[in-house]
Amino acid sequence: MLGNEAICGFKKILSTNRFESTQHQAFFDQGIFATAAIGKTATETLGDISLACFCEQDSRQVLGLQVSDLVAHTCAVMLLAELGVVKKTVKTGENSGYDPDSDMELEFELWAGVRYNFFAAARPPDQWKSQLDFQVEVESRGLHVAATCDPEVWRAAVARFGSMYLGCID
């Protein structure tokens, strides 16, 4: 199921965002699809979207898969915090814009590092009335949650990743 959900996510991202290239590649770690043939069949559901899929890749050789694992882990910690499962604080540190010795929630620190990298739609600036409006909508462009997802997890995913605040941090 994970491979098919990944394909659905790619379809959403590629059909709702503009890219310079119309040719795209996706690399899937070992075990995402039961077999490479099943992965190839899954990509046929993309219709006119050009996505070359490489299934059963070894993350020791395809370094982008290691980056993907890191991003997935980061987002998982953020999601667990949204669900109330993880509660951890870290020191803000130097050059954070805050007192370096003050505590901040780990999920905030993680979010600050990844938030500019989500596929999103910017709100027109003329709709910004205050700093609280400095948000981009992610749910329709870059967030795919499986239909089979537990409703509580689905709500937490949309709450955490459905929109991103862009103010305060350079």
Q: DSSP per residue over 96-152, as a string?
A: SSS-TTSEEEHHHHHHHHHGGGS--EEPPGGG--SGGG-EEE-TTTT----TTS-HH
The confidence score (pLDDT) of residue 169 equals: 54
For the chain, report the end-to-end CA distance as a whole number of angstroms.
38
Domain borders along the chain are 1-57
Which of these, 168, 158, 170, 166, lies nearest to 78 by C-alpha position? 158
pLDDT tens digit at each of 170 positions of the chain: 888 899 889 889 988 998 888 888 999 999 998 888 888 787 777 777 788 888 899 999 998 999 899 999 999 999 999 999 989 999 988 877 788 899 999 998 888 888 888 888 876 677 777 777 778 889 999 899 999 999 999 999 999 999 888 766 54
Residues 170, 90: Cα–Cα separation, whole Å: 19
